[in-house]
Chain A
């Protein structure tokens, strides 16, 4: 109870748990994707690849829900700035890295929570994950959560108000999601799409989740883990730097 990092984390988690509409709302989209795509494209996938589409799709949708939830927590810095609470944290005798880190841990925690909920829902719909590597999947969830909370924080540190929000959603978050191989197998995609996807950090997160949950993988767990860890550390560092430089 004495650490600012913990207090900041707790604040983020409380805010998340208290906004039931947001929690439920952010479950709607993954369920829709799982049901509509899972059942809608299931037979197409099966005739082309053989195998169950839900097994392929579920890890991608879990990654998506973590992406959205975490990114949102990161971008919430803008709200804190507008409602004024950000000032209160920024003048406190606590290094801004700690503040940012606590926030980011909070964002990642809510992301993972959301990811696990989607995992359970997917299991109800028919997803059959391999249980042996679940701890490793959780590590991938943590990395995806940390990465996107930091990224959101980094961007929000540079924005004064919410006007850029739609821009970020449409030109960053959505492309990151659609080009990551969350929805379709990249192996069969045209070359140019494949190459683009190699530059999408989420590609490695999705691949890592898919590898640990289903055994299907493009790059192998080792490479996924290294890429995700390195990228997360870099973005965490950039986010902390930009957050430290905020002026009000």
Chain B
């Protein structure tokens, strides 16, 4: 960043993703600068996770252009996969392996050198306070413990771009603070670009350099937290968010795969 011309590490132009009749992402364009923390905010079903899945080669877009670290992830999937890491919104652990084995698997897959592997796994497991449980099968973990393990796993290798899709769902406040502290540090020290989504507006306000607000598959506003508040004459980001996206609840269209959230909704309705 020092004085150099700021380059975009992610560029997205007119991205569209349709699932049959439903248009989940409807002509989205944005850039993320190298070394930036970029937040995607938006109500349930806005299309945040779908956008992330396309950026991370899990889904092919219906149309649009993407450049990720100079690579077109649709054409050159293998190369694109080398440049990022991701913590998914939905569960993604192997329940039949132990905590340690899950991390070891990840370290091998992401080419962490063998000599550093043990040390890094230990460090991350201690970071999320699961070191004592390292040899327990993941299926014996609580929801929050699983989430912590996923986060530890996502931080074992140090990618150029880190995608965090609602990383703090289900975590206690201590762990949340701890996590964002760590992410900010990695962002500063290694210049790692962070692309995150969250429903906790304070988190976005505190961590993100820039924010895009998405609704119904479209980006409706972009800018720093300050700019967004100014534009909407809101006193805080949450207020700005509500002014931009309205007050009605979007439940019907929310992501079908989203177990955590749909559980939360089911409980809420009782």
Q: Which residues of A contact B (CB under 8 A)?
A: 1-4, 7, 11, 14-15, 18-19, 80, 83-85, 87-95, 247-248
Evaluate contact between B108 and A84: CB separation under 8 angstroms.
Answer: no
Evaluate contact between B109 and A4: CB separation under 8 angstroms.
Answer: yes
Evaluate contact between B108 and A11: CB separation under 8 angstroms.
Answer: no
Evaluate contact between B91 and A84: CB separation under 8 angstroms.
Answer: yes
Report the number of A-B residue pairs with Cβ-Cβ less than 8 Å: 73
Residue of A nearest to B159 (CB): A93
Evaluate contact between A247 and B91: CB separation under 8 angstroms.
Answer: no
- Interchain CB contact (< 8 A) of B96 among A1, A4, A18, A248: A18
Evaluate contact between A2 and B114: CB separation under 8 angstroms.
Answer: yes
19 contacts between A and B (CB under 8 A): A1-B108, A1-B114, A2-B108, A7-B104, A7-B105, A11-B101, A11-B105, A15-B94, A15-B96, A18-B96, A80-B94, A83-B94, A84-B92, A88-B106, A92-B110, A93-B78, A94-B109, A95-B78, A247-B58
Q: How far is the CB of A136 from chain B (nearest CB, A)?
A: 34
Evaluate contact between A93 and B96: CB separation under 8 angstroms.
Answer: no
Evaluate contact between B108 and A4: CB separation under 8 angstroms.
Answer: yes
Q: Is the interface of B mostly helix, strand, loop or mixed?
A: loop
The residues of A that contact B78 with a CB separation of less than 8 Å are 93, 95
Evaluate contact between A83 and B91: CB separation under 8 angstroms.
Answer: yes
Evaluate contact between B59 and A92: CB separation under 8 angstroms.
Answer: no
Evaluate contact between A93 and B111: CB separation under 8 angstroms.
Answer: yes
Evaluate contact between A91 and B56: CB separation under 8 angstroms.
Answer: yes
Interface centre among B84, B96, B153 (most CB of A within 10 A): B96
Evaluate contact between A19 and B91: CB separation under 8 angstroms.
Answer: no
Q: Which residues of B contact A (CB under 8 A)?
A: 53, 56-60, 78, 81-82, 84, 86, 88, 90-97, 101, 104-106, 108-111, 114, 153
The residues of B that contact A4 with a CB separation of less than 8 Å are 108-109
In Å, the complex CA distance between A90 and B56 comes to 10
Q: How far is the CB of B177 from chain A (nearest CB, A)?
A: 26
In Å, the complex CA distance between A225 and B71 comes to 44
Contact flag A84-B90 (CB < 8 Å), given A90-B58, A91-B81: yes
In Å, the complex CA distance between A15 and B111 comes to 23
Residue of B nearest to A92 (CB): B109
In Å, the complex CA distance between A90 and B153 comes to 15
Contact flag A88-B92 (CB < 8 Å), given A14-B97, A93-B81: yes
Contact flag A85-B109 (CB < 8 Å), given A14-B97, A91-B58, A248-B58: no
In Å, the complex CA distance between A94 and B106 comes to 11
In Å, the complex CA distance between A89 and B90 comes to 14
Contact flag A11-B59 (CB < 8 Å), given A1-B108, A87-B88: no
In Å, the complex CA distance between A11 and B81 comes to 22
Contact flag A85-B92 (CB < 8 Å), given A7-B105, A11-B105, A93-B78: yes
Q: How far is the CB of B61 from chain A (nearest CB, A)?
A: 11
Residue of B nearest to A14 (CB): B97
Contact flag A93-B109 (CB < 8 Å), given A87-B58, A247-B59, A247-B60: yes
Evaluate contact between B93 and A85: CB separation under 8 angstroms.
Answer: yes
Evaluate contact between A85 and B108: CB separation under 8 angstroms.
Answer: no
